[in-house]
């Protein structure tokens, strides 16, 4: 009898690999999908194949191939993202379109295929990597294409969760508020554990799990930071180094885990259902240009 398979779309050396390792520990046959698989170091128990998340046809072919030679596929993790930097109104339409193709359309395409493969078996998990910018994009306006994608991805998770649960197929998003960093509450291994728990709980888990680096963050601090965020989002303080439409932009120090403050509306519940959460950013001591990888939760 073949082992169950888990597929990580958008596997990389950070979170994607941590998730893959977690499922290997549970004796899953794990396959990662990446545009450039040769760039990833080979690791025992994890196979990496080529696929482009922006192309539904390649996703379809890759997932069905894995089902045939490594399946049955029981878990799909969609961890792919793409981000172009530019203020709203400045970013080219085709760049926004391309970002959303990866961040939302690819997730939907993969989820449809996964549902088709698993519904007849009455068991399957579709897990999406979300981000705190889905709640409020104003802290980093020049990353608004990513924020829009994460907001749409969150909506997609809720919609598909409701549509697929009758077939025993769970859909959930792990919303990560803050920079993924070793030694914090949102270190890769801890996030990977959350993905595993969501799979174990299945349709009972609910459509969303929030992770942040300050569980139990002070409510008052969150309110203060929200007030500052409104000022930061003004035309003269947009979080992108000014109103210029140029490509060279600055952001609050994303390397500092304390730069993202979250407030939880209620404590984490064992059911891992939705937890209302607001994401704010604290005033940066300094600003410096950063690459898209520095802002995003998927890799």
In the chain, % of residues over pLDDT 90: 63
* Helix residue spans in 104-255 (DSSP H): 106-118, 144-164, 188-201, 219-232
- CA 231 to chain centroid, in Å, comes to 27
Cα 182–Cα 187–Cα 192 angle in degrees, nearest 5: 140
Q: What is the pLDDT at residue 139? A: 79
Q: What is the pLDDT at residue 291? A: 35
- Is residue 61 predicted with pLDDT exceeding 50? yes
Mean pLDDT of the chain, nearest integer: 77
Average pLDDT over residues 174-184: 91
Model confidence pLDDT, tens digit, residues 32-46: 999 999 999 889 899
Q: What is the pLDDT at residue 275? A: 22
Q: What is the pLDDT at residue 297? A: 35
Q: What is the pLDDT at residue 5? A: 97
Q: Who's near 241: CB < 8 A, 6+ residues apart?
A: 142, 248, 249, 250, 251, 287
Token pair for 117: 């493969």
> CA–CA separation, 25 vs 6, rounded Å?
12
Model confidence at 222, pLDDT cuts 50, 70, 90, reads: very low
Model confidence at 153, pLDDT cuts 50, 70, 90, reads: very high
* Whether 206 contacts 197, CB under 8 Å: no
Model confidence at 71, pLDDT cuts 50, 70, 90, reads: confident
Largest CA distance in the chain: 62
Token pair for 116: 């088709």
* Helix residue spans in the chain (DSSP H): 15-25, 56-69, 93-100, 106-118, 144-164, 188-201, 219-232
* Whether 115 contacts 126, CB under 8 Å: yes
Model confidence pLDDT, tens digit, residues 201-215: 999 999 999 998 665
- Is residue 25 predicted with pLDDT exceeding 90? yes
The superfamily in CATH containing domain 5-215+266-276 is NAD(P)-binding Rossmann-like Domain (3.40.50.720)
Q: Who's near 228: CB < 8 A, 6+ residues apart?
A: 280, 281, 282, 283
Q: What is the pLDDT at residue 94? A: 96
pTM: 0.76
Per 3-state DSSP, the chain is made up of helix, strand and coil in percentages (nearest 5) of 45, 20, 35
> CA–CA separation, 225 vs 223, rounded Å?
5
Q: What is the pLDDT at residue 64? A: 97
Model confidence at 138, pLDDT cuts 50, 70, 90, reads: confident
* More confident call, 87 vs 265: 87
* More confident call, 247 vs 108: 108
* Whether 229 contacts 241, CB under 8 Å: no
- Is residue 268 predicted with pLDDT exceeding 60? no
């Amino acid at each position: 009898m073949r082992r169950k398979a888990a597929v990580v779309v958008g596997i990389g050396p950070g979170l994607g690999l941590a998730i893959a390792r977690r499922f290997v520990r549970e004796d899953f046959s794990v396959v990662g999908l990446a545009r450039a698989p040769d760039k990833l170091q080979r690791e025992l128990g994890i196979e990496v194949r080529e696929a482009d998340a922006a192309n539904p046809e390649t996703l379809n072919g890759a997932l069905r191939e894995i089902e045939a030679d490594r399946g049955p596929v029981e878990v799909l993790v969609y961890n792919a993202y793409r981000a172009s930097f530019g203020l709203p109104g400045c970013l080219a339409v085709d760049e926004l379109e391309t970002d959303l193709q990866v961040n939302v359309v690819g997730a939907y395409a993969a989820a449809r295929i996964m549902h088709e493969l698993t519904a007849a078996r009455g068991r399957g998990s579709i897990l999406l990597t979300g981000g705190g910018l889905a709640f409020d994009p104003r802290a980093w306006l020049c990353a608004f294409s990513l924020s829009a994608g994460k907001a749409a991805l969150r909506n997609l998770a809720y919609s598909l969760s409701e549509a697929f649960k009758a077939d025993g197929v769970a859909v959930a998003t792990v919303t990560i508020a803050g920079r993924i960093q070793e030694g914090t509450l949102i270190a890769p291994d801890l996030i990977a554990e959350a993905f595993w728990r969501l799979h174990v709980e299945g349709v009972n888990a609910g459509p969303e799990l929030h992770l942040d680096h300050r569980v139990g963050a002070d409510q008052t601090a969150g309110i203060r930071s929200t007030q500052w965020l409104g000022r930061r989002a003004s035309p003269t303080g947009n979080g992108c180094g000014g109103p210029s439409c140029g490509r060279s932009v600055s952001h609050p120090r994303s390397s500092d885990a304390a730069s993202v403050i979250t407030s939880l509306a209620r404590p984490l519940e064992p059911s891992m259902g939705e937890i209302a959460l607001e994401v704010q950013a604290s005033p940066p001591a300094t600003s410096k240009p950063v690459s898209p990888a520095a802002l995003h939760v998927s890799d």
